[in-house]
């Protein structure tokens, strides 16, 4: 293929790596406002803006949250820990103030809509943070214990803690690199889905995957085995197999 077009944004996207070790340098209120303000400009379904984000800096609260999800230094030691909340509570109030009822909030479409909007906004925020020289990591692990998270954060009905995100100045000693992705030919289809499209490139991917983890001191890893462990067993869900009950607790019946 001829040389691909590029841009500062594409370069930044291609330089992404999750950061799990941070310097003690704080993330300022101005940086936080710039990051979240940028994320607010991301596309949002029907402009419903169904998310809120809670910025946590208090060391004891971070420690309690971290303990509730298995104790992760990247939560406890993050200068700021963000919890991205699917927030239909605001929209419920708006509907009720007009004499209506949140008559569709029990539908899975609105759970999906919230999750999609949050994913889009949160990734926009992470990219904005990276553009400022910060780094971070998504923390889906908060869904290992949504009840404790909801209680700790005082979430009302129709508000669900969807994903966390640690943000800070990357510790240069962390030493992680760019984790390889599947070759483009494995994921980009043309006109119709082709179920065999990824197969010719999988060996090549396994090689680069193994090489990456060997370089990190973990030889012998395989992407296929990782997928099987994470998605092929209930244990791999780390408690998230009861997610519909957790969602229901917060008013997201997901029917």
**Binding segment for ligand FMN among 12-20, 83-91, 148-156, 217-225 (CB under 6 A)?**
12-20
Torsion angle of C-alpha atoms 199, 201, 204, 210, degrees rounded to 10: -60
CB of 18 to ligand FMN, least distance (A): 4
- The CB density around residue 50, as the number of other CB atoms within 10 Å, is 24
Q: Does 42 bind ligand FMN (CB under 6 A)?
A: no
CB of 17 to ligand FMN, least distance (A): 4
Q: Give the integer Cα–Cα distance in Å for 156 and 247.
A: 12
Q: Give the integer Cα–Cα distance in Å for 209 and 225.
A: 11
Tell which one of 49, 63, 67, 138 touches ligand FMN (CB under 6 A).
138
- The CB density around residue 132, as the number of other CB atoms within 10 Å, is 16
- Whether 39 and 130 have beta carbons less than 8 Å apart is answered as no
Q: Does 76 bind ligand FMN (CB under 6 A)?
A: no
Q: Mark 162-191 with x for binding to ligand FMN (rule: CB under 6 A) and - for no binding.
A: -x---------------x------------
**Binding segment for ligand FMN among 10-18, 34-42, 188-196, 204-212 (CB under 6 A)?**
10-18
At how many degrees (to 10) do helices 202-215 and 223-231 cross? 90
Tell which one of 76, 140, 148, 208 touches ligand FMN (CB under 6 A).
140
């Amino acid at each position: 293929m001829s040389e691909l077009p590029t841009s500062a944004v594409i370069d930044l996207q291609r330089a992404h790596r999750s950061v799990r070790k941070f310097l003690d340098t704080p993330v300022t209120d101005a940086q936080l406002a710039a990051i979240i303000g940028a994320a607010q400009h991301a596309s949002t379904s029907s402009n419903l803006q169904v998310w809120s984000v809670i910025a946590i800096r208090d060391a004891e609260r971070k420690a309690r949250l971290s303990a509730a999800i298995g104790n992760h230094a990247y939560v406890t030691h993050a200068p700021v820990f963000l919890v991205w909340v699917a927030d239909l509570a605001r929209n419920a109030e708006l509907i009720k103030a007009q004499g209506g009822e949140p008559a569709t909030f029990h539908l899975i479409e609105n759970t999906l809509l919230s999750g999609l909007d949050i994913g889009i906004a949160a990734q926009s925020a992470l990219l904005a943070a990276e553009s400022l020289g910060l780094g971070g990591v998504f923390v889906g692990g908060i869904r290992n214990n949504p009840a404790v998270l909801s209680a700790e954060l005082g979430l009302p009905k129709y508000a669900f803690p969807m994903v966390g995100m640690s943000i800070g100045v990357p510790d240069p000693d962390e030493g992680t690199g760019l984790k390889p992705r599947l070759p483009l030919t494995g994921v980009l289809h043309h006109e119709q889905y082709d179920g065999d499209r990824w197969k010719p490139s999988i060996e090549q991917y396994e090689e680069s995957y193994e090489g990456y983890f060997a370089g990190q001191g973990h030889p012998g890893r395989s992407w296929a085995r990782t997928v099987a462990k994470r998605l092929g067993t209930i244990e791999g869900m780390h408690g998230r197999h009861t997610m519909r009950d957790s969602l229901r607790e917060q008013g997201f019946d997901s029917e």
